[in-house]
């Protein structure tokens, strides 16, 4: 299945595919950080931080990237909520900003982003400007996870009327991180948050979306160490959670799966081609087909004999059907 998908992308606007299943949506696009991606009403959208200008750029359906504007020091985050596509970034002033893309009268994406909306940082600490936010949607809430300048992890939410909860609460358990967090939601009503600990081990905690009650402590994943931001995504193809990270020793992107209870985490596997990256990966669910990984290519990444630097690579259907 991956080989067939790769063939499709090889023939579509500007995308470069490989026999290993990795492809670049735009051969001319490079980035300084992890790309964000999402499926929006049947279209695949990628947003990245520009290599050199720190602006946000977006691509849909493997066409060329277009400049959104604004500036950020870190990777963006993106997901679908309330039938709209939400794009979040950490502002250079220590606050959080987001833009929205909606649907037109023909029920297709407008391919136009709204103006930026500002969400103030947690009281007493700005958001760490070099760390990306994490977002995850569940019913009537869009959950926002950030890291403060004090390295603590905070949670807030937007609602379907686009109103903000107006406050932040620290995720309990005293977790601290020097990398961006990651989050996903599950159909049984839980928000799962993961972070890289200051010891390079990875930790997860879940909160009940309905009651707002957290587990209260962080659980260490049995396998894997990373020195970059990890990524998680609920995988509707098999009802489990995919974890992805950059191995602290080799730089190779690795993946595993678990239930909400991390003790059953599978053994890590290297992604096809043993690709390395200077940044952590992204992970997003692809409408029943599995989970898509996105990475920033390393200097002189070898894809079927072609050498690239800082290019964006995607791989479809990890742990798919």
Whole-prediction pTM value? 0.91
Tokens of 189: 């009503």
Task: Collect all residues with Cβ–Cβ distance below 8 Å to 205 and sequence separation of at least 6.
Answer: 171, 172, 173, 175, 192, 193, 214, 215, 216, 217, 218, 219
- CATH: 3.80.30.20, 1.10.1040.10, 3.30.70.260, 2.120.10.10. Which one for 69-297? 2.120.10.10
Q: What single-letter DSSP state applies at residue 128?
A: -
276-303, pLDDT tens digit by residue?
Answer: 899 999 999 987 678 999 999 876 555 5
**Could you identify the residue written with the tokens 């949506």?**
25
**Domain boundaries defined on the chain:** 69-297
Task: Give the pLDDT mean for 41-69.
Answer: 92
Rounded to whole angstroms, the Cα distance separating 152 from 146 reads 8
pLDDT of 239 higher than 60: yes
Spatial contact of 205 and 219, defined as CB atoms under 8 Å apart: yes
176 half-sphere exposure, CB direction, 13 A CA radius: 6
Spatial contact of 175 and 152, defined as CB atoms under 8 Å apart: yes
Task: Give the pLDDT mean for 182-200.
Answer: 97
**For position 314, what pLDDT does the model report?**
83
Spatial contact of 295 and 311, defined as CB atoms under 8 Å apart: no
189 - beta bridge partners?
A: none
- 119 against 139, higher pLDDT: 119
Residue 304 — left, alpha, or beta (φ > 0 → left; ψ -120 to 50 → alpha)? left
pLDDT band at residue 25, thresholds of 50, 70 and 90? confident
């Amino acid at each position: 299945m991956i080989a067939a998908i790769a063939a499709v992308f090889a023939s579509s606007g500007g995308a470069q595919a490989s026999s290993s299943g990795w492809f670049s949506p735009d051969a001319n696009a490079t980035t300084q950080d992890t790309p964000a991606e999402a499926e929006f009403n049947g279209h695949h959208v990628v947003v990245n931080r520009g290599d050199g200008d720190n602006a946000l750029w977006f691509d849909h359906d493997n066409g060329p990237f277009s400049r959104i504007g604004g500036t950020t020091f870190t990777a963006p985050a993106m997901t679908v909520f309330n039938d709209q596509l939400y794009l979040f970034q950490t502002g250079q002033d220590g606050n959080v900003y987001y833009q929205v893309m909606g649907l037109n009268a023909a029920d297709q994406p407008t391919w136009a982003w709204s103006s930026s909306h500002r969400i103030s940082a947690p009281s007493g600490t700005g958001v760490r400007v070099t760390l990306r936010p994490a977002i995850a949607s569940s019913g009537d809430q869009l959950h926002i996870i950030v890291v403060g300048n004090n390295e603590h992890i905070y949670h807030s939410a937007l609602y379907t009327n686009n109103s903000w909860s107006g406050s932040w609460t620290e995720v309990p358990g005293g977790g601290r991180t020097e990398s961006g967090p990651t989050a996903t939601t599950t159909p049984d009503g839980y928000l799962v948050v993961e972070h890289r600990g200051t010891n390079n081990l990875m930790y997860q905690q879940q909160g009940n979306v309905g009651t707002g009650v957290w587990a209260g402590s962080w659980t260490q994943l049995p396998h894997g160490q990373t020195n970059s931001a990890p990524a998680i995504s609920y995988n509707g193809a098999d009802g489990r959670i995919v974890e992805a990270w950059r191995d602290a020793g080799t730089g190779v992107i690795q993946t595993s799966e678990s239930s909400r209870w991390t003790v059953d985490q599978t053994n890590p596997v290297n992604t096809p081609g043993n690709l390395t990256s200077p940044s952590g990966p992204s992970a997003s669910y692809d409408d029943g087909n599995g989970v898509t990984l996105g990475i920033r290519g390393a200097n002189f990444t070898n894809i079927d004999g072609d050498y690239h630097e800082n290019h964006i690579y995607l791989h479809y259907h990890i742990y798919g059907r």
